Structure 1
């Protein structure tokens, strides 16, 4: 990993550094191994390349990623504040502490970006200017919004949080869902996630020799994702069982539905063809050597794995979630959500003619280009 960090330092030097350093603070609950956490670190690199001093502020100690040395890291533990029974008072007092810490230890930020609901419900009480929320999931799926009393209560709470500051959505689908469920009181815009193509390609060169006894380059289909309902591993396995199964299916990830998914593979009689290789904080070598990549999700915010696969010249097929995939892939690569037969046919084609699903990486996703969009939006609003 040392060569990757060295690359960040030497190649990722800011193109311009003003006499007065501009500062951005990216707030997130923790840095566990999720897509949102990876997105925050990548976006931070984009701001760094534009000459910003970048600070990552989290509220829990958990870290599952190698940390970019170009960025500055801070932690204020929220856990002690859970002893305050009144939740509203709890968040108000902690937000005041966060504001004091930022001004005292970091200085006045030019931009503050709050990421995910756990951070947003704290930062809604912040008194600092230039704060925006980054909405990374469709709220209808995230909070299971349906037409009932509990939903109405939740919608009121979400409106109270998100109407106070601009909301930056990571896909057009996420923004449409936000507006449809919370209404016109929300100020929103779409700015996609950032992807460091060069870093992804460099990380993909790391060795996975320990797993080569199980997989052969270009001779397997890959899926990367947590084992949970939204990722629809049940649909994936049922579709694979109906395909030609010409190549093994490799699954990377962890989650509460892992054992249930393994049992389904056994019940379908495909356990010898489906390889569960666990969670890996660097999935890119597996992605680079895959014959093709398949996404079976029922819902997504943006879907990081699609542009990551495209950055490595890996063919992709995907379910057409309400947000995400259709904004990056042509119709030829998409199938309806939860349609086992359609996905089976597409996986068969992916295994037989992967070149039919190969598309170029879009340069607009590069970190400095995405960071610039945040700057432009803030200065124009």
Structure 2
């Protein structure tokens, strides 16, 4: 008799170019390597990544449901549609992993068993709990969602922050994001960039990434290396204005979004991260795979779990960041660090299996 193949379902709003979206695809690969049948369900057709032929893809559009008045009622009705769709087209998955707030909110209304949330961020910083007038209301809404199912946080810092923000409302654990070493190394050889002797920053132009701090710190160095900024987002135009104000147009290069950033990372003298918060800091682990030195702000979760202390800088401190950048420009190899093989996809997927089985 043929043994029933175990199934995992990963749920996310869309597969647009973000870190969590890439994690979903890499984690899917890990489960595939463990022999699972992998299903990915999204609520918007949008895709910016190459999709592996090893998975089954599903789209159940949320858009028609937007006409239903009341956010909670809308999510409840859509959750019923999700349950029906999954039961009919996938069966009963052994593990369901929900990613990011849209999916989390919907699956908090689901009647399907075996649901676990993946917490990709440091929630108190992402949602600005200390600066937000509606923080208590928002917190309560989030507690209602996250108390429903167990949570996997993508770093120890993110787990501590989750428990500090919400209390022990549900079982939690920390499991780092998976890194597909072979795929990254292959993609890194796709081409050689037109630039040489440069520093690379990869990340969306959004609040967390602090491009303003990065550019101001770079202005205080001798600028003996170019600074390449890879990404897109809401703060891009103000970063461009800052570059112009500081007369750095010849030194700072805006590359836009690239679906394959790895050749730029591989050929950089070093990679820099100036974030005020991260969930896990995927880009650090990816740089380590390619042997690229990294310096990063010591934000509350992620970097200190991946890098030695000498590679870390205080957040928001333009002078200290400028000094560390100058050191790295003089001797990039001093900031090399090893890649931890425990981050390979199948090993990370095994940790998910272990956590969900022991609940």
TM-score range, shorter chain: over 0.9
Q: Distance in 2 between matches of 1:108 and 1:164?
A: 19
8 Å CA contact 1:159, 1:186 repeated in 2:
no
Residue aligning to 2:340: 362
Residues in 2 aligned to 1:278 and 1:147: alpha-carbon distance in whole angstroms: 31
SS at 1:277's partner residue?
strand
1:1-381 map, 5 Å: 19-146=3-130, 150-208=134-192, 212=194, 215-216=195-196, 219-381=197-359
1:380 Cα deviation from its structure 2 partner:
1.3
The runs of 4+ residues in structure 1 deviating greater than 6 Å are none
Q: Give the C-alpha shift of residue 106 in structure 1.
A: 0.8
Secondary structure of 2:256's counterpart equals: coil
* 1:354-378 alpha-carbon deviations (Å, 9 max, x no partner): 1111011100110000000000011
Looking at structure 2, the residues matched to 309 and 272 of structure 1 have their Cα atoms a distance apart, in angstroms, of 25
Any stretches of 5+ residues in structure 1 without a counterpart?
1-17
1:146 Cα offset (Å): 2.4
Once the two structures are superposed, residues 180-200 of structure 1 have per-residue CA deviations (whole angstroms, 9 ceiling, x without a partner) of 111122321101100000100
Q: Deviations over 1:224-266 (max 9, x none)?
A: 0111121111100111111121111111111111111111011
Moved more, 259-268 or 194-203: 259-268
TM-score, normalization: structure 1? 0.92
| Post-superposition offset of 1:352 | 1.1
Please report the RMSD computed on the Cα atoms of aligned residues, expressed in angstroms. 1.1
Alpha-carbon deviation of 1:86? 2.2
CA distance in 1, matches of 2:169, 2:211: 37
The Cα shift of 1:118 comes to 0.9
1: distance between equivalents of 2:170 and 2:212?
36
In 1, the alpha carbon distance for the partners of 2:147 and 2:68 equals 26
Could you tell me how far apart the structure 2 residues matched to 1:91 and 1:256 are?
Answer: 28
How far is the alpha carbon of 1:149 from its aligned partner?
5.8
Equivalents in 1 of 2:276, 2:219: separation in Å? 19
Aligned length: 358
Matches of 2:308 and 2:133, distance apart in 1: 39
Moved more, 283-292 or 142-151: 142-151
Any conservation in 2 of the 1:179–1:186 contact (CA below 8 Å)? no
TM-score normalized by the length of structure 2: 0.98
Cα offset for 1:148? 6.7
Rounded to whole Å, the distance in 1 between the matches of 2:134 and 2:290 is: 44
Specify whether residues 272 and 149 from structure 1 end up closer, same or farther in structure 2 by C-alpha distance, changes over 3 A only. Answer: closer
Return the alpha-carbon distance in structure 1 between the equivalents of residues 248 and 133 of structure 2.
44
Distance 1:257 1:89 in 2: 34
Structure 1 distance, partners of 2:63, 2:160, is 34
1:369/1:166 CA distance change after superposition, 3 Å = same
